[in-house]
Structure 1
Amino acid sequence: MKVKIKLHRLGFLRDKQTEKSEDRGLPYKRPEFESRPEFSEEEHTKLLGNIIKSVREIREYIRENGKITLGEAEKIANKYDVPLHLPLAELASRCTVDYDEGVILCHD
């Protein structure tokens, strides 16, 4: 299974706000990115590997049980030291998160 992870989902690519917001009368404030941690290439690789592992384990759990609770998904993400939103972002194209029921359902 190939897993593509877009770097903007991880916060590594910066959002660009145009200067045109001033033209519309909106106050323009440049986002502060200095507070974001800098990742070395090794840390980058480790994080991406952990995201892939957590996505695989969550998908395997869903295959076996038909769905997964958000709490269980969070436990898996924490096991790999990954915030839950990163594997959820990757699963988003193929899965549905039902927040009312608190479960993730996959379509494939």
Structure 2
Amino acid sequence: MAGMDVLCSDKTGTLTLNKLSVDKNLVEVFAKGVDADSVVLMAARASRTENQDAIDTAIVGMLADPKEARAGIQELHFLPFNPTDKRTTTHIDGDGKMHRVSKAAPEQV
């Protein structure tokens, strides 16, 4: 049985504004010792701006400096979104520990 510490779910203004956005004030964190800024940073680390994906661009755009997404980490593995798994997963090492960060619909996590 798998477990998780943080689950991010969204409701965007895509239909009304034709622009994907993320409101950090709506980020709910249920794990102890984790704040909304940490969730945004980890989501940015699982994102790729070079793909010009709207979701990745919106998430990385929440950082003060987009370079923060890669600062101080070594990406060990990246699994891009695919229609079978319906998720993106990145394995990173930033502080001597392995972290797995996934972006997906809640029912896929």
More helix by share: 1
Higher RCO by CA contacts (8 Å cutoff, separation 6 or greater): 1
The structure number with the bigger radius of gyration is 1
More strand by share: 2
- Normalized against structure 1, the TM-score is what? 0.25
